[in-house]
Amino acid sequence: AQKVTQAQTEISVVEKEDVTLDCVYETRDTTYYLFWYKQPPSGELVFLIRRNSFDEQNEISGRYSWNFQKSTSSFNFTITASQVVDSAVYFCALIRGGYSSASKIIFGSGTRLSIRP
Amino acid sequence: ETGVTQSPTHLIKTRGQQVTLRCSSQSGHNTVSWYQQALGQGPQFIFQYYREEENGRGNFPPRFSGLQFPNYSSELNVNALELDDSALYLCASSLQGWGQETQYFGPGTRLLVL
């Protein structure tokens, strides 16, 4: 069975602080994909990043960075110099790879991030 | 914006009624997936349609059904509504029905069942 755990239910920081959102996943597949989505109050899920199981390189995109470690089954997300606009619920997610049927996304329960001015 | 649209944005129904939600996929995408997101939880997979055929289904009863049309738009139908069906319903489109394809989400339909 596959599972994604986001142990941090809510995080609140002051603007300009760095913040890390934790994600731990479980899967027996050798090929899989990990995602982070952002959900602002409007409700739409915004795609942030996709990472496949064979690529453990960390990635940086502006103020966002991701640390993928297969040894600990973790895919953590760091926002540097946080801004009020970063306030949202963030979801970590997992999907099986390959050409099997039903590429359903397994979502974590989400972390609500509040950035205080 | 993802180019995925959903209608209506909000809906109020009473228990026992039926509802139809609609989704237009991003141009060029032939796969649509539907998810239910209860308040305070992560989205749960309902089913996926690939080229007008159901391509997989999550743990939802048969009263949740769907369709995909030749233009790859899709409908989610829910019969005999229950109070627990109150949720945000999200559709996502992707280029193919495979795992490596990123799913892009629409803004969702908020359904309230009274």
Residue A116: pLDDT band with limits 50, 70, 90 = very high
Report pLDDT digits (tens) over A48-103.
999 989 888 888 889 999 999 999 999 999 999 999 999 999 999 998 876 655 56
A101 in contact with B, Cβ within 8 Å: yes
Q: Find the CB nearest A107 among B42, B47, B106.
A: B42
Q: Which residues lie across from B105 on neighbouring strands?
A: B92
The confidence score (pLDDT) of residue A29 equals 87
Rounded to the nearest angstrom, the minimum Cα separation between A81 and chain B is 25
Q: Are B45 and B33 in contact (CB under 8 A)?
A: yes
- In this structure, are residues A10 and A112 in contact, taking their beta carbons and an 8 Å threshold? yes
Say what the pLDDT of residue A25 is: 97
Structure tokens at B78: 């829910």
Residues of A in contact with B55 (CB under 8 A): 101-102
Q: Is A9 helix (H, G, I), strand (E, B) or coil?
A: coil
CA pair distance A7, A9, nearest whole angstrom:
6
